[in-house]
């Protein structure tokens, strides 16, 4: 049985996307911007984890018990040479640290690697698929178009931040088995 609430996290110590699905449909979403650029990643990770805990805790005050909330977070995945810059810059370490903090917020937290929920699809493809599945979400705005370096095509300008879109994709993939 699927939980009433699914809280999905696209972790980041700078721009952490989150999405809440209620009974399998998008309910709320947002982004967490912790601290300032100068703050140490440990401080920012702590702020992100506290914010996520508050999101989950606020849901438990609704009519449903805490047991009916599923927290799902993306965890880092290394791709050998392709992840060289992220690995060398320390980004993987920072993200791993934050993912561990998020994972321990509830005893039922699920962790998904990017490969498990989006395979190797570029962000523009994920956004397009989600916009067809959830046409009422503001995934695109206006008629202006921008060039996507991932797939070499033009797309409408994005409305929701890509971190939020990823969180929506993570929730959708957890609930339905893929994007």
Closest CA to 176 of 46, 47, 6: 6
Contact yes or no for 94/7 (Cβ under 8 A): no
Of residues 144 and 37, more confidently modeled: 37
SS3 4: coil
Domains of the chain: 5-115+161-176 (3.30.420.10)
Question: Looking at the chain, which runs of residues are DSSP E strands?
Answer: 5-10, 16-22, 25-32, 69-74, 110-112, 140-148, 153-158
Maximum mean pLDDT: which of 20-34, 49-63, 123-137, 141-155: 20-34
Share of the chain above pLDDT 70, in %: 78
Query: What's the Rg (C-alpha) of the chain?
Result: 16
Structure tokens at 56: 């989950």
Q: How far apart are CA 120 and CA 31, in angstroms?
A: 23
Q: Residue 93 has what pLDDT? A: 85
List pLDDT tens digits, range 28-61: 888 898 877 788 888 999 999 999 999 998 887 6
Strands 25-32 and 140-148: unpaired
- Cα distances (Å, whole numbers) of residue 14 to 47, 69, 71, 85, 96: 10, 25, 20, 17, 14
Confidence category of residue 121, pLDDT binned at 50, 70, 90: confident
Confidence category of residue 155, pLDDT binned at 50, 70, 90: low
């Amino acid at each position: 049985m699927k939980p009433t609430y699914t809280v999905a996290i696209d972790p980041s110590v700078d721009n952490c996307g989150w999405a809440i699905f209620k009974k399998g449909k998008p309910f709320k979403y947002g982004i967490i911007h912790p601290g300032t650029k100068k703050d140490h990643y440990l401080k920012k990770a702590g702020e992100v984890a506290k914010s996520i805990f508050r999101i989950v805790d606020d849901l438990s005050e609704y009519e449903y018990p805490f047991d009916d909330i599923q927290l799902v977070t993306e965890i880092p995945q290394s791709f050998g040479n392709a992840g060289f810059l992220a690995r060398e810059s320390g980004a993987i370490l920072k993200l791993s640290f934050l993912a561990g903090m998020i994972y321990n917020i509830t005893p039922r937290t699920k962790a998904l690697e990017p490969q498990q929920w989006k395979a190797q699809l570029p962000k523009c493809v994920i956004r397009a698929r989600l916009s067809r599945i959830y046409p009422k979400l503001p995934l695109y705005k206006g008629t202006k178009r921008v060039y996507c370096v991932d797939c070499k095509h033009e797309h409408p300008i994005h409305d929701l931040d890509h971190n939020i879109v990823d969180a929506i994709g993570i929730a959708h993939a957890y609930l339905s088995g893929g994007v």
